[in-house]
Structure 1
Amino acid sequence: MAARDRRKSAESKKKEVEEVIDQENEEPTIQWALQTLEQISLLRELTVDEVQLKFEDVLQFKNQQTCLKEAALLDYFVSGFWWAKEMNFSSEQTSFVMALLQSSIDNISEKQMSFVDNFTEFGKTLIDLRKTPSADGNPPLFDVEQAKSITNYFTSSLFQHYRMYEFLFSQSRDKKLLGMERHIEVIDAAKLFAPLEEGMPVDVFQHYLAPAQPESPEEQAAKERRGEEEEKEEVGGTDERSEGEGERGDTLEEEEEEEEEKYSVEEVREVLREMTKEMMGNLQAEFTEKLRIQEESYTARIERLKSVSSN
């Protein structure tokens, strides 16, 4: 009896050890902790805009419209979920993909894991998933082609832009944008000329269009002194000029009266008629010459075309 009891005890201990070993070797399939399989199944029935609204609540994003980090992460998870839906993955497969997205991004944000280490852990997770079938004899969660598709998607969406995600979690961009100050020196437009119009000479621009430059105090004082000197000179010579100007004024009035008496209205009309006739004659001759030159040019072209066509 004692030997039989010892044998039973040894067999029971052996079974317990085997169960512990099996439990250690069999790693459970990782699933997304933020959503159950039933919730993921309901999400698969929604549109992409509705999925985005749901994910804003699930991920507790409140500032995705203004915060670059929240906007990038929201796009990261929504794109991954929608890709899994288009691949016709089941709810369990979709949950695994979302959990893999979560763990990969957490390795960057929380563990500051390098690209090589993160990619190695990602590959190890997929390999362990397909290493052995489940205990109940069901096939692995993903076949070879599906595993390749997952690898390609993660490569193009996450690992190809790894430095961008590292920068996203390592730089406090929002604080810099809100607290940054810049002092920029601006050129005084009054001291410079406006840009020249196309084809306009510089002297014409400066004479007619250039804005007047403000005068310095020294220039204003010099201008006032010159004005005072000119006024003194004018006052001194006013008396001398007044007599001469009076005599010249009388002489000019007499000459104007004589000229008015010399020419009648008919004579002025005759002069204008002759000038008009002469101008029209010159224009007619010039116009006739231009027509002749143009006619000769067209005739020469027609002759060349005829010679080419005959050859």
Structure 2
Amino acid sequence: MDGDLLASVMSGMGMPSFGALSHINISGICATTRLLQCRDFGVYQCDISRKFDRNPGDVVDIYKEDFFARKKIVQTVDAWNEKRNEFEQFTPILWSYERDKGHLVFIDSTTTRFLLVMCFTNSKDPVNHERDYAAITKANANRFMSLAKYVYHDEDGNKPKFVRATYTTSRQGLHPDFLASFDPPANVPIFHVTGDNFIPSLLPGEVTRIDNVFAQSYTTKPPPTELKSQVMGEKEDVKPQIHALEEAMVKLPNMCSNCRKTSEKKMPTCAR
């Protein structure tokens, strides 16, 4: 899957046209397009909250359990926003990217600060996979900062400041420290990546595909050539543990919450 992670989604399912950049699709998964749209049309025009106001059965591009996991995070951040002033609030702009290898992304009104929440559902053994979840989340935080620095390159006073990332599982909700402050955390599964300490993580093929998106925009200048070396990393250093992510996507058999019996088929009412 060389170059097929962040880059494949940044260019969408196919080559984006100017029409794609000028039309905001709340189900879109092209991260480059969405970041450009946040600057061109404003953050609030890119709000994807209404995707989760629908009946989950009507949302065909996301599994029901993933829908509810993301909806819960969107609601949590929305409730937190009510206690903050307008310039401290975060808006959800992506429900998925990297073909569902990356999950919820929020952005503030200055388009310089980002929240990233990975939602892992239905793992066979969430406890044993927490270390892999942390590695995947940290890798995604560095890659999204690499992307943001590359996309938002042309305004010296409006450069990306941080990507703050964490993950949730079927057992664990959003860590209370995630929104408590924006100081670097300690001994908790939260990763605070800044424009100064991020690990360059884009692969050459990904950068080429991002450039293809820029080629469709009449409003944004393409990134300078010298910036590429600042955001590109080595394949062996930046590739997340895909085997763990795939295992996290495995569907659990039906399980009784009372007696803990499992079955691949629909289970009858528990006698207990």
Query: TM (normalized to structure 2)?
Result: 0.32
Query: TM (normalized to structure 1)?
Result: 0.29
Higher strand share: 2
